A and B are shown apart, each in its own frame.
Chain A
Amino acid sequence: MSEHIVSRKIYFAIFGALMVLTLITVLVARVDLGVLNNIVALTIAVLKATLVVLYFMHVRYSSRLTWVFVIAGLFWLGILIALTLSDYLTRGGL
């Protein structure tokens, strides 16, 4: 019957991780790594978003149906981006 209450300790740990990741993303951006800059920046952003969704938004402790909703949303976002880019990036001579 009762909902899962996430402890304050977990919230502060996630907050610390988000701060450290923000610092890393800024420090890495100051160095020119070519294509790697984009990969690192996006990887860190995805990591941060995942931490927020799982812990701050309680999805980790939510029902299976909530998981289905979240994953369906991300799947459709994937279709939007992947199919569009697979068109534009293979046209050549843009």
Chain B
Amino acid sequence: MTLFQFYFFEFSAIYILIGWAVYLMFRINQPYFGSLYSMCIGAYFAAYSAINWGWPVWLVLMGAVVVSMLFSLIPAFRLARLGPFPMVIASMAILFIIQTAAKNIDILGGNYGLFGMPFIPYHILLLITYGFLLFIGYLVYHLDQSHIGRAMDAIHFNRDMAATLGVNASSLSVQFQVISSAIGGLAGVLYAYTMGGVFPGAFSLSFMLHAITIVVLGGMFTMWGVIISAPVLWSIGHFLPENMTGLSVIVYGILLIVMLLIRPSGIIDRRLTKNISELRRAIFKTFSRHT
């Protein structure tokens, strides 16, 4: 496996995880990007604990996920009451404050960050990453299909009506903020091990644009869209010539705008998944009749 292929598979999986974390909150109409700052926290925790304390991978993973979840709980109850606008701004504010803190705290390496994490062979890291990807995918899928998924839909389309029907939107928001942050923290650890470390510049506003583009391009109303958009977007950034690397942000921006204008529901929307499942059922029925 070449280094390029490794990075492609690894970053595709990491961005799918981040896409799912953002998607869960979009489902309840709260564009919360806490998973992004949790990714930053997870990555820094992983780098610091692996380099300075010599923690093994499994302990780093557990520690980073727990720390990310605990950190997300601090503002969660207040954030749960906010509407979409303030939610976006509040998430950005927290991301920016954490980034500034990381830049200015000496033990976190300042602008240069923390590097020198223990090397994990590529195939093992891919195995760990895709194991978690399947596990999280399974959880998100079952969450979508359960009564919680229906409650999420109700909140998305009419929060007041959902409350009348007994859905506690604030409580659900807190729970999803924590789950979303745990996924973010996990993605941060995988990111840190892939890069061999972490630096604050990786979690800038353009990173947030990347995450938004993944979800908007893939589709905000199903979990399947990000599986297509995450690898496609990563590839766009890496197939551009070296002297045009700045163009990737412009391409993301244009894709985002064009997609919102022509197909606001994204590449894969609910109608498409319904048609695909009906088609699959029809093919299966025809096939079983012939056999």
The answer to whether A and B interact is no
